[in-house]
Structure 1
C-alpha cells in the first residue's frame, strides 16, 4: 500500500539534510491550465520526469504523444466535481506502453493499472515496468496507468506547504509510537498541525474532490476515451479499494477486474485501519524460518533455530533503542536508531524475496556495531532544491494524506481516546506501533462539505472479479479478499502461498498464469486453488545431517507438504524483473 523509498525523508534520524540553491517559489494554490503546467502561486513550474509533460495539452479526448522510451503520454480533462460537470476541470496524466497488435484482430484493448498507496504514481509505474508488464500479460493489451487526481503529474495537486523545503523539514521527523514515551501524543500533535496546514491551503475546497469515488469516475472517463464501454483493470493494495469502488458504482462496466492484495474497503472507509495486520507477524516468521533453513553462509544472522533468531532480533532491537549507531556514507549521514530499524524491517516485509537476504546480512553487521548496510536500505541523497530552475515534479505525500483522510469517516479522537485503539492494534501485532499512525494522521482533517461513496461494496458485475491474496501478506491479509468477494456473486479468490505484499512480491508462475489467462480468456481458477511459489527466498542450503527438536517444531514452512511449483523459466525471468522495477506503495507516508 509506498515504495521502498518512502522512508527516504523519514530516515533523517539525527539530522535534517537540506541543500538549497537560490530563491523559493510560493505554493498557496494550484490551478489547472490547458498546458500541463503546474502553476504554484502564479509561478509556472515545468514538469520534468524525463519527458515533455509541460508541452502536453489537456484535452477532453486522448491525444497520445511519444514520451520516454517506447511509451506514450496524454492528459485527459475530467470534471473536478462530477456534480458540476461544466465547472472547473482536472487534468489526469496518463501513460501507456502500446500493444504491438493494435489494429489487428488479436488486440484486446487497454488494461488500466493502479499501483496502490493511495498516492502511488501510475506514470512512474509504467515508466519503470510497462514493458515488463506487457511481457507478463501478453502483447494483446495496451498497458495503461495514470497519476490519480491530487497526485504527481495530475492537477490540481494537493499541497499543504508553501515550499518543498517546508514539506521536507516537516516530513523529515517521524517516530514509531514506542520510540519515545510520548510517541502517541507527539504523533497526535503533529496531525493537528498537518490538518491545520491542509485547511489553510485549501481555501477553494478542492481537497474534498480528491477521493476514491471521483478517481473511479475518472477511470470510467479513461475507458470511454479509449472508445470502450467496459474496464479491464489490475489494482494492487489500495488499488483494490479503487477497483471495488468502481465495481460497486458501475457493476455493468466490468470486462476484467483483478484485485491483488485486497484491502477491507469497509474498514478503510471507516478510517479504522484495524484489521490489516492479521498476518504481519507470520510474514516476519518466514524471515526467521528462511534464515535458519538457509544456514549461516546465506544468512549471517543465523542461529540454531528460528526461535533463537527471533530472540536475537529482539535483543538487537532493545540494544539499538538505547545505543543508536551513527553512520556516514559517501552521500548522506544519520543514525540507525530504533525508528529506522523498526521501519526498515517493516518495509522489508513487503518484498521478502528482494529484501530478506540483504536484511540477514545487514542485521548481522548491525549486531557487530556496523549500521551502514541497514542504513543504506532506503538511503537517498540529501534533499536538493534547485530553486533557480525548473525542478522535477515528484508525487508528494500531501496527495496521499488527502485521499486517505477525505475518503474516511471523520476522526476527532483525543490522545486519551486513541490509547485503546493503539493498545488493541499492538495486541494484534507488534507492528501496531507503526500502523496506528495512519488513523492518528486524520484526527484533524478539515471537515468535508460534500459526501461521497463509502459503500456498500456489492454488485452483480458484468464479468466476475478475480481477487488475489497471499497467505502471509503483511498488510492485506487474505481474509480480506474472502470478505470482499462475498459482495460480488461469481467472483473467485486465488490464494498464493507466500509472504509479501501482493502477488508480484514472490515468484509464482502458477498465480501469474491464472491472472494472464483471466485477462486473455476471461477464465477464473476454481475456488480454493492455492498457488505455490517457484523458489525459496534464501539460496538453497547445503544438506544437514540433523535438525534439533526446537527448530523442527518452530518451522512453519510455506507450502509444506506440496510438490515443487511447475517451473516457467521465461515467466520467472519476467517476474524477477518486475520485482526489481515495481514495489507496491505503503500508506505510511503521511507527513505527520
Structure 2
C-alpha cells in the first residue's frame, strides 16, 4: 500500500485511506505508518454507503481517489466530516459513487460485538441491510442513478429489468404461505448476472442459483458483486442468480427488532462476547435471548412464521420454474448447504446440478444443537501453527520450532489477557482510537481468522506478537466500545427518514429468525442450556465463541412449515459436496455424513483449513465444479484438491505460478477462484455471545 498518510497529531499514528476505484471494489483502507505493509480492510463503501460511515470521524487524513485508469485525486480533510451548507459542525459522511464494492458481513452474518468487529474489520459494506440499492433500494449510489427497487412492480412472472452494471433485477411474487396459495404474497428480490448467450440458444445452460451462506445472507449483493466470477467458473452459458430470502434485505415483507441503530446499540452494548469468559457470561447470553425472543414475537410474529428454510426451498423451485426449468441448478455455501440439502430432500426429482460447499450437518442444524460444527476448529488452528513453523521467524512473528510450541505461545498470550488486558489509546486528537484488547476480543479475532486462513490468519497471528509486547493499537478500532460509539452517536446530517425500519443489528435478528425458527429448541431453561454446553465443552477450545444454541434458547416463533423429512434420498442427479480438510465450522465428517444419505453423491476434499472452497484458491476444485455444472460429471470418490494459495505466502502467488502448461480457460478459472478468495463473501457465524452467523467469506 502506498504511504499517503497525514499525521493525526504529534504522537499519533499515520492513517492511510486509499480509495481504490477499481473494477471490483471501491474501498477505504487504514494502516499504521510502519515499515511493513500492515493494513486493515476495515471500511468499505457501497450501494448502501450511507450506512457504512467511518468510525474515525474528524481524524485528519489525505484521501486519494484512484480511478481505474491510474489517475489520482487527493483530498485533505477530516475523515467523514464534510462541512454542512450552513457551516455547522454536524457530522456528515463522505459520499462516494462507487461502481463496485466489497461486501460482507453481516458481513455476519451478524453478530453482535463479534460480528460487528468482524464486519468492520473485514467486510463492512455488503451484508448490511440490502446493500444492492441505497435506502433499502429506494435509490442508487453506484452509478445507475435512475434505477430504484421501489419502482420495480412485483410480478408472478419473472420480469427482469436492467439495473446495476451488467446485472438485471426482478421482484417475484410467491405465496407467503404455500398452504394458502391464494393468500398474502412475498416479493422475492433477485439479481441476475446474465449468460453470455441468449436464452433461446441451444447453448444456454439455464439459471444457477447462489446462496452465499448464513440464514439471512443477501444473495442480491453476492451476485451483483461476484456474479462474473461465479460465471467464469461454471460457464458463460449460465445465468447466475442471487436472491434475498424471505424477510431479508430487499425481499418483502421484512421484519426487525429495533426501529433504529441507536436502540440496537443500547441493547447489544453489554452483550457477552464469549459464553464462558466469566461465571455469568452464559447466563447473560441466555437472558438476552429471552428479551430478544419476546421482542421479536411481539413485533413480527406474522412474518416470522413464514421465513423457514423449507419455505425458501419452495421459493427456489418456484424461481427455477418461472425461468423455464423443472430442475434446480444451485451452488450453496455454508448454511446454503443446509438449504440445498433441504431442497434435495423435499424435491428429489427436481435436482439438476446441486453443489453443497462447506457442508453442515443438516440434522444437527434442524435439531438446533449446533454441537457438531467445531469438531475441526482446533485442527484449523494447528494448521496455521504448522504453516508458521514452515514460514520461519522472518515471516511468522510468533515462530517456534514446532507447531505445538506455537500453539502454546498463543494460549499463553490468551491466558495473560484474561488477567491483564491491554489498554490502547492512539492520541489526544479529535477522534482518538481507544479500547481494551481483552481475552474474549483476541480469541474472537483469532477464531474469525480461521474462516479464511489463506487471507487473514497471517495478519492476525502477527498482530498477536504485538499483543505480547503490550501493543494493541492496531486492532483497537475493532473493540466493541469503538464500534458502538458510532451506533450510539447521532448523525445530525442524516435525513429524518433514516431507515425506519433499521435493518437489524448486523442482521443478527434475521439469522436467528430463520435458524432458531427452524430448530426443535423450545422454551429451554437455563439449566438445559448449561447442560448442552457442558456436553460439547470438550469438542473444541472455541466452544465459548459458539453461542448460537444459547441465542436460540429464547426464540418464541417457529416456522409454520418445518422440515420433517429424511436426508436419505435418491435424487434425479447426484449431488456434489465440497468441504475443506480442516473447516472451523463445517467439519469434513459432516460432508461424508450428508453424502451417505444422498445416493450417488460424491465428496470432494479441498486440502486446506478455512470455511468453504472459496477460502482458498484452487484450480483443481473449481475445475471440478465447472465440469459438474457443464456436463454433470462428478469427481472420483476420494478426490483431494490442492490449493495454489497458502497461509504465509509473501508476494503475489498468482503472478508467481507457472502458467505455461495452463489453458486460457484454466487461467481464467484460477483468477476467478482467487477473486472469490480475496472477496471472501461467506458470513462468519458469531452470534449474541458470539456464536453465529454470519454470515460470514462461506456464512453460513
Which TM bucket (shorter chain)? Answer: 0.7 to 0.9
| Distance across 1 between alignment mates of 2:220 and 2:557 | 31
1:5: how far off? 6.0
1:542-581 alignment runs, 5 A limit:
569-581=667-679
| Distance across 2 between alignment mates of 1:449 and 1:575 | 36
Deviations 1:293-341 (A, max 9, x none): 1012211122232222111111111122222223456685432212211
Paired residue for 1:440? Answer: 550
1:390: how far off? 4.9
| Distance across 2 between alignment mates of 1:452 and 1:161 | 26
| Distance across 1 between alignment mates of 2:498 and 2:478 | 29
| Distance across 2 between alignment mates of 1:444 and 1:8 | 16
The answer for unaligned runs of 5 or more in structure 1 is: 18-35, 39-43, 542-565
Deviations 1:146-171 (A, max 9, x none): 11001111111131223332223323
1:519-558 alignment runs, 5 A limit:
519-539=629-649
1:124: how far off? 1.3
1:181-580 alignment runs, 5 A limit:
181-203=279-301, 205-328=302-425, 333-375=434-476, 382-383=486-487, 386-391=494-499, 396-435=507-546, 437-448=547-558, 450-539=560-649, 569-580=667-678
Moved more, 529-538 or 385-394: 385-394
| Distance across 2 between alignment mates of 1:357 and 1:448 | 41
Give TM-score scaled by structure 1 length.
Answer: 0.85
8 Å contact kept, 1:13–1:335: no
Deviations 1:416-471 (A, max 9, x none): 22223212222110111111x11111112215483522331132211111111111
8 Å contact kept, 1:2–1:588: no
Does residue 1:179 correspond to 2:287, yes or no? no
Task: Indicate the SS of the match to 2:458.
Answer: helix
1:9: how far off? 5.2
Moved more, 401-410 or 122-131: 122-131
Deviations 1:323-371 (A, max 9, x none): 2223456685432212211111111110001101211221111211222
8 Å contact kept, 2:568–2:598: yes
8 Å contact kept, 1:91–1:155: yes
Paired residue for 1:72? Answer: 168
8 Å contact kept, 1:12–1:334: no
1:540: how far off? 6.9
8 Å contact kept, 2:233–2:625: no
Task: Indicate the SS of the match to 1:179.
Answer: coil
| Distance across 2 between alignment mates of 1:137 and 1:449 | 34
8 Å contact kept, 1:179–1:339: yes
8 Å contact kept, 2:207–2:239: yes
Paired residue for 1:25? Answer: none
| Distance across 1 between alignment mates of 2:563 and 2:115 | 38
Deviations 1:450-496 (A, max 9, x none): 35223311322111111111110111111111111122211111111
8 Å contact kept, 1:264–1:484: yes
Deviations 1:353-404 (A, max 9, x none): 1101211221111211222333457997823753524559757221111001
RMSD of the alignment, in Å?
A: 2.9
The answer for unaligned runs of 5 or more in structure 2 is: 1-103, 121-132, 652-660, 691-700
For the structure 1 residues 479 and 10, does the alpha-carbon distance in structure 2 shift closer, same or farther, using more than 3 Å as the test? same
8 Å contact kept, 1:494–1:525: yes
Task: Indicate the SS of the match to 1:111.
Answer: strand
For the structure 1 residues 207 and 247, does the alpha-carbon distance in structure 2 shift closer, same or farther, using more than 3 Å as the test? same
8 Å contact kept, 1:271–1:411: no
| Distance across 1 between alignment mates of 2:115 and 2:190 | 33
8 Å contact kept, 1:366–1:374: no
8 Å contact kept, 2:435–2:477: no
1:98-117 alignment runs, 5 A limit:
98-102=194-198, 103-117=200-214
For the structure 1 residues 107 and 591, does the alpha-carbon distance in structure 2 shift closer, same or farther, using more than 3 Å as the test? farther
Task: Indicate the SS of the match to 2:113.
Answer: coil
| Distance across 1 between alignment mates of 2:168 and 2:111 | 29
For the structure 1 residues 591 and 101, does the alpha-carbon distance in structure 2 shift closer, same or farther, using more than 3 Å as the test? farther
